[in-house]
């Protein structure tokens, strides 16, 4: 299993979660973050750090956001790794 970033991250992109990830599994897209499923060790350290509650264990992703499981797996390898906190997107 892996952790999955879902809909609430889209357009806000808080990065509090990336600094606690022991495997540096977060990747940064233009509008949201992604977690690489092969890099994530499923520790859950990122979950309480997300102020918009966008991160779920793969098995706990709400049904209406289930497409984000595949989206994270697809986009993480295509986007740069992020390991440091940045300002969230404007309007967050």
- For the stretch 13-67, pLDDT in tens is 999 999 999 999 999 999 999 999 999 999 999 999 999 999 999 999 999 999 9
Phi, psi of 27 (to 5 degrees): -130, 150
- How would residue 91 be classed by pLDDT, with cut points 50, 70 and 90? low
3-state secondary structure of 38: coil
- Topology (CATH) of 3-78: Alpha-Beta Plaits (3.30.70)
pLDDT of residue 90 exceeding 70: no
d(Cα 56, Cα 86) in Å, to the nearest integer?
21
Q: Using CA atoms, how far apart are residues 61 and 88, in angstroms rounded to an integer?
A: 23
Residue extents of the structural domains in the chain: 3-78
Check: pTM over 0.75? Answer yes or no. Answer: yes
CB contact set of 59 (below 8 Å; sequence gap of 6+): 1
* 85 pLDDT higher than 80: yes
């Amino acid at each position: 299993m892996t952790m999955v970033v879902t809909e609430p991250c889209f357009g806000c992109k808080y990065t509090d979660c990336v600094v606690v990830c022991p495997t540096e599994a977060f990747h940064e897209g233009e509008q949201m973050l992604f977690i690489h499923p092969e890099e994530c060790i499923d520790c859950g350290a990122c979950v309480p750090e997300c102020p918009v509650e966008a991160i779920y264990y793969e098995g706990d992703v709400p049904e209406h956001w289930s497409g984000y499981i595949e989206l994270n797996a697809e986009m993480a390898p295509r986007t740069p790794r992020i390991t440091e906190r940045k300002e969230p997107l404007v309007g967050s």
